[in-house]
Every structure is written in C-alpha cells, then in structure tokens.
C-alpha cells in the first residue's frame, strides 16, 4: 500500500536518506520548522496557508493584528539533495501606536519575500531490526543511532525593497540555517532548526524551532512546536500545536493554533492550509533480469593478468619492438561465453522475448493490483458512508424513542401526583370526620358525667334530710 510506505505525511519526514523523493507529499506545514529533506527532483510543491494573528498593542509602533496568505514554493531539479524555494506572504496589518492614547491604521501588501536553497550534508543509516531473527529483544530494542540527526544547511536572501513600510528591513539581506531531524521511530520525528536572519541589518535576529510530530495512522498526524526569536530590542516566543490530514498522494490539509508571547503580552495565532504538489519525478532506470538481479556491464578482459611479474615485463618490452596487431576474438554465443572485441565491453546477457513477456506481465499485475485497490477503496468509502447513514438513522430513532419514553414518563408522573393528591384529600376528609365524631363523643360523655354528678349531689341532699 502506497500510503504505508511513508506514514509520516505530512509534516516533515522521509524514509530514505539517499532518495529525497517520496511516494506521498512531504510538507513542512503547518509548523514553522523546515525538514532537512528535499522534495525530490521533478517535483513542484506549493504549501499555502491562511493565517490570523492578534495580540494587545504595546508602547510605540506595533503590529497587534494581521490577516494574510502565505505561500512556500519548493522544487528540485539539479540534485536530489538540493532544494530551491521561495517564501512570501501577502497580509493586511493593523499598525498601532500606543502612548497616552492609542491610534492605528491598516496597511496591505507583501510582508515577506525570500529565496533560498538547502542541501543535505549528512544522513545517518539506521539498523534494520526486522532482519534480526535470533533475538526478540534485539529486534525490538531501541536503535541508539537514531539520536544522530540528519543534517542540512540552508542559505538564502531576504528581498525587502518592495515590502510594506512596516516590514521593510533594508534592501537585500542574507540568511543561514542549520536543519536537523531525528527519526526516533516510524511514527515519532523531532525537527530542530537554528536560523540567523537579516544578517548585517539593524533588525538581525537569531531563532530556534523545536517540533515534535507523531503519526496516528496513514492519514492523520499531529505536532507540537516551540519557537524562540531573539531580536535586538525584544524577545518573542510562541508555543503551538496542530494536525494534518493526508487527502491524497499529492495533497495535504492542515491546521494549527498557537500562543504568542511578546514582552508582557499574550496573543494567539491560527492558520488553515493546504499543500499540493505537481509530481513529474522519474526514477532512475535500472535493468534487471527475470530474477530481479541487476544486469551489469562486463569489464574488459586483460589477457596478461594471469602472467607472473617477469612474464608481464617481457610482454611490455616485446610490444615496444613489435607492430601493433589488431586482436580478434571469436564470439561464441552458443557456448554462453561472449568476450570483448577490440577492448569494448558487451552485456552479460541480452534481453530475450521471455524477459519482455515477464516484464509486461509484472506491469499488468501492478496495474490490476492498483485498480483492485482503487475499487476496494471506493467500496470501503461507500460502505463507510452507508454505515454512517445507518448510524444517523439509528441515533435519530433512538432520540425519537427516548422522547416518547420521556413523554410517557411525564404523563405517568402527572397521573401519580394527581392520584396522590386525591388520596391525600380523602385521607384529610376522613381525618376531619373522625375528629368531629371524637369531639362530639367527648362532649356527650362530658354531659353525661355532669348529669351523673348532679344526681349524686341530689341523692346526698335527700339523704341528709331528717
């Protein structure tokens, strides 16, 4: 699978050191750092992004707000390790002056324009752990050579004569960079850049960028980045994170969000971008036989190489006094031992009809495999869409059922509360009725007791009479 040949898509990684070209696009976006690798010969790559930056205005003239479009063009056609690039930005700036009161105005134009080139000078070779079959521990152990980075140098020129007034920093000023990259695994890469920019001007600056990128799968990757800029009058720092999505072999989408720290103020920076390449790369042609072995040229035969020292010396003296004779060698094709004629080399073997048929068969198989993969990919996308549609319908049905259940629960709760109120009213009525009967009974008992007392008193009076 082509996507699995290079899982680090997106943002700054390559799997082969001596071959800069990769089957899928290799973009520096959305980070500010730059990989030491070239895009490869015959590739024309455009990395664009729309960005927005905002921070509170500080005393004197500042640029607290900016909206713009950045273009980074990369190509290579001289050497696989050499890349030529152009970096420019068109943006609308808010220029503010803050003293007692704050005033501002807007300015639109080019804020950056530079051309440059980079060349990889060192690429370490890592051990292939997959070939280790004797020890599981050795096969899965960390290769400490991965701490040795790939190294590239970059140089270029800033052209400021046609930039806006705020961003103009002299006419033409040089810049140099050192680009490092550590590939700690197939998923994790760390890029370190050191830049010295606007050399020889009053606005020269030194900066560093540290970027860590991790591949989640064949399509998605994320990054975290820290940048520090040291100027003569101030220090700037930004910390950011973002993600990239590999849409196709030649296109990538990306986004990032950053926090900017300038003096005592904190602002933010956001960007959305797309990287696209026009791929005209052609691999070097290598002729192989039906077994996959490279067909090499046979070296010219030296007829006196098997002689001893004195024999070779005698033959040289003999050639000085003898006429040069043209040596003819018979070419025995049937015996399978072709030799050089007149010192010119011949092929070890000629391409036969069987070789041509085998090559055509391999091409046809590759074409068929690509078509099958394409069809499988379409079926997979179709199945995913159908699954998403069914999932939406299921969620919709679940929501409707949940709403009906909630309505039924509310209705039952109302009925229960109503019934409880009726029962409570009946109980209160019954309690009042019983209380009335109790009071009435108490009154009758009290009346009866009073009558009994009266009769007793009357009897006593009667008994006291003579």
Which tens digit of pLDDT belongs to each residue from 406-438? 999 999 999 999 999 999 999 999 999 999 999
Angle (nearest 5°) at CA 231 between 226 and 234: 85
Cα–Cα distances (Å) from 80 to 83, 156, 226, in that order, read: 8, 19, 30
pLDDT at 61 exceeding the cut of 60: yes
pLDDT of residue 330: 43
pTM above 0.75, yes or no: no
Is residue 232 within 8 A of residue 222, CB to CB? The reply is no
pLDDT of residue 138: 62
Which DSSP letter does residue 31 get? S
Least confident of 104-108, 138-142, 335-339, 368-372: 335-339
Cα–Cα distances (Å) from 43 to 38, 46, 150, 311, in that order, read: 10, 10, 21, 57
Closest CA to 215 of 259, 269, 252, 260: 252
pLDDT of residue 349: 47
Angle (nearest 5°) at CA 268 between 267 and 269: 140
Per-residue confidence band for 309, with pLDDT thresholds at 50, 70 and 90 = low
Per-residue confidence band for 296, with pLDDT thresholds at 50, 70 and 90 = low
pLDDT at 216 exceeding the cut of 70: yes
Taking only the tens place, the pLDDT of each residue in 124-158 is 887 666 665 566 666 667 778 888 999 999 999 99
Least confident of 16-20, 61-65, 180-184: 16-20
Kindly report the CATH class assigned to 2-126+144-279.
mainly beta
Is residue 177 within 8 A of residue 194, CB to CB? The reply is yes
Closest CA to 17 of 168, 106, 125, 90: 125
pLDDT of residue 77: 85
DSSP string, 356-379: HHHHHHHHHHHHHHHHHHHHHHHH
- How many alpha carbons fall within 13 Å on the CB side of residue 40? 24
Cβ-count burial 188-220 (b if 16+ within 10 Å, e if not): ebbbbbebebbeebebbbebebebbbebeebee
Residue 226 is encoded by which pair of tokens? 């820290």
pLDDT at 189 exceeding the cut of 70: yes
- How many alpha carbons fall within 13 Å on the CB side of residue 306? 2
Closest CA to 97 of 160, 166, 169, 170: 166
CATH 2.40.160.40 location in the chain: 2-126+144-279
| Alpha-carbon span 74 to 279, nearest angstrom | 12
| Residue with the two structure tokens 């059922």 | 401
pLDDT at 305 exceeding the cut of 60: no
β-strands 205-215, 188-197: how paired? Answer: antiparallel
**Helix or strand holding residue 384 (H, E):** helix 353-464
Is residue 40 within 8 A of residue 27, CB to CB? The reply is no
Is residue 201 within 8 A of residue 174, CB to CB? The reply is no
List 258's β-bridge partners, or say none: 240, 269
| Alpha-carbon span 466 to 436, nearest angstrom | 48
- With a CB cutoff of 8 Å and minimum separation 6, the contacts of 286 are 294
Cα–Cα distances (Å) from 232 to 41, 155, 199, 235, 405, in that order, read: 39, 22, 12, 8, 69
| Alpha-carbon span 2 to 377, nearest angstrom | 13
**Higher confidence at residue 398 or residue 161?**
398
Mean pLDDT rounded to a whole number for the chain: 81
Taking only the tens place, the pLDDT of each residue in 383-392 is 999 999 999 9
Per-residue confidence band for 352, with pLDDT thresholds at 50, 70 and 90 = low
Q: pLDDT > 70: what percent of the chain?
A: 76
Mean pLDDT on 377-406? 91
pLDDT of residue 150: 93
| Alpha-carbon span 309 to 313, nearest angstrom | 6
Closest CA to 296 of 344, 347, 350: 347
């Amino acid at each position: 699978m082509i996507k699995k040949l290079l899982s680090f898509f997106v943002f700054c990684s390559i799997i082969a050191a001596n071959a800069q070209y990769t089957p899928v696009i290799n973009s520096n976006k959305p980070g500010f750092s730059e990989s030491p690798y070239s895009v490869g010969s015959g590739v024309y790559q455009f990395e664009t992004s729309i960005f927005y930056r905002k921070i509170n205005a500080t005393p004197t003239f500042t640029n607290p707000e900016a909206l713009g479009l950045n273009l980074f063009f990369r190509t290579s056609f001289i050497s696989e390790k050499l890349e030529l690039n152009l970096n420019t930005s068109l943006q609308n700036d808010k220029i503010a002056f803050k003293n007692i009161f704050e005033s501002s105005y807007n300015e639109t134009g080019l804020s950056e324009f530079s051309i440059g080139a980079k060349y990889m000078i060192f690429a370490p070779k890592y051990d292939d752990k997959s070939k280790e079959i004797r020890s599981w521990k050795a096969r899965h152990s960390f290769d400490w050579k991965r701490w040795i980075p790939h190294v590239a140098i970059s140089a270029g020129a800033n052209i400021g004569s046609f930039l806006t007034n705020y961003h103009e920093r002299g006419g033409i000023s040089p810049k140099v960079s050192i680009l490092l990259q550590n590939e700690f695994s197939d998923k994790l890469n760390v890029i370190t850049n050191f830049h010295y920019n606007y050399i020889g001007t009053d606005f020269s600056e030194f900066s560093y960028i540290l970027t860590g990128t991790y591949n989640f799968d064949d399509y998605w990757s994320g990054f975290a980045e820290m940048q520090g800029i040291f100027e003569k009058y101030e220090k700037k720092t930004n910390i950011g994170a973002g993600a990239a999505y590999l849409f196709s072999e030649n296109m990538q989408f990306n986004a990032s969000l950053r926090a900017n720290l300038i003096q005592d103020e904190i602002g933010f920076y956001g960007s959305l971008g797309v990287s696209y390449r026009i791929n005209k790369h052609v691999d070097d042609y290598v002729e192989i036989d039906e077994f996959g072995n490279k067909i090499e040229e046979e070296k010219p035969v030296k007829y006196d190489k098997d002689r001893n020292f004195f024999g070779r010396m005698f033959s040289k003296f003999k050639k000085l006094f003898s006429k040069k004779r043209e040596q003819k060698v018979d070419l025995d094709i049937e015996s399978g031992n072709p030799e050089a004629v007149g010192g010119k080399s011949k092929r070890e073997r000629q391409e036969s009809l069987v070789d041509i048929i085998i090559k055509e068969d391999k091409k046809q198989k590759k074409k068929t495999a690509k078509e099958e993969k394409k069809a499988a990919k379409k079926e997979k996308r179709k199945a995913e869409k159908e699954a998403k549609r069914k999932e939406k319908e299921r969620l919709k049905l679940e929501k409707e059922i949940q709403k009906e259940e909630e309505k039924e629960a509310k209705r039952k709760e109302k009925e229960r509360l109503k019934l409880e109120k009726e029962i409570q009213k009946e109980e209160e009525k019954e309690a009042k009725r019983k209380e009335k009967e109790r009071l009435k009974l108490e009154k009758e008992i009290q009346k009866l007791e009073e009558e009994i007392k009266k009769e007793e008193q009357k009897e006593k009076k009667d008994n006291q009479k003579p």
